[in-house]
Amino acid sequence: MPDPRFKILTSASTSGPGDAGRTGSWRVERPIIDYSKCTPAKTGRHTCHLCWLYCPDSTVSKDLEPQIDLEYCKGCSICAEECPTGAISMVSEEEFTGGDKDE
């Protein structure tokens, strides 16, 4: 039991998102999903979900219509590369300036 007179400052971190801030600001391009090509969206059944599997930052949801968390998506484009039906395309962030994009 530590003595209560001692503060014992040490480096002990608690967990939460955004240690690097809004990593969505790292993006140069953002993934856009064409649900007409996306297999789970098209079939209404949970299948494929490779974009969800391979996302390094867990910013793709496992919904039938997968959603991208733009707050943290770094724009690596692995989802677009791995999508077997080519449902994901990468679009320049400039197209969205003035919308969601932070500086």
Partner 1 sequence: MNNSFIESGNVAAALAVKLASAEVIAAYPITPQTPVTEKLSEMITLGEMDAEYIAVESEHSALGVCIGAASAGARSFTATSSNGLLYMSEQLHWAAGARLPMVMCVVNRGVGAPWSVWNDHQDAISQRDAGWIQVFAKDHQEIVDMTIKAFRLAELVHIPVMVNYDGYYLSHTYMPFELPKAEDVKAFLPDYEYKHTLNPERPESLNTVTLPDARVDINGVKRPGYMEVRKNLHDEMRLAMVVWEEIDADYHKSFGRGGNPICDPYCCDDAEFILVAMGSLANQFHDVVDQLREEGYKVGVLALQMYRPFPTSHIAKILQPAKSVLVFEKGLSYGNQGALYADLKSALYPYPARPTLHNFITGLGGREIRTENLYQSVKDTCLNEETLKPEHIDTPQWIGLQL
Partner 2 sequence: MSSIAKTNVINLTEEEFVHPGNRACTGCGLSILYRIGMKALGRDCIFVVPPSCLTVLQGLYPISATQMPVLNCTFASTAAVATGVRAAMKRRGKKTQVVAWAGDGGTADIGIQALSGALERNEDIIYICYDNEAYMNTGVQRSGTTPRRGLTTTTPYSGKKENSKNVPEIVAAHNPAYIATCSASYPLDFHDKLLKAKEISGLKYIHIQTPCPPGWGIEEHKTVAIGRMAVESGLFDLYEIENGKKQLTGQSSKQLKKKSLRPVGDYINLQTRYNAYDEEHVIALQAMIDRKWEKYRKEFSQE
**Interface with partner 2 (CB under 8 A):** 11-23, 26, 46-50, 52-59, 62, 69, 71-72, 74-78, 80-82
3-state secondary structure of 29: strand
Q: Which CB atom, from 13 or from 36, has the smaller least distance to partner 1?
A: 13
Task: Please give the DSSP secondary-structure letter assigned to residue 80.
Answer: H
Nearer to partner 2, 34 or 71 (CB): 71
Cα separation, 17 vs 99, in Å, equals 23
Is 2 a binder of partner 1 (CB under 8 A)? yes
* Chosen from partner 1, partner 2, none, partner binding at 96 (C-beta under 5 to 8 Å by type): none
Report if residue 7 touches partner 1, rule: CB under 8 A: yes
Q: Which pair of structure tokens corresponds to residue 78?
A: 């692995």
3-state secondary structure at position 56: coil
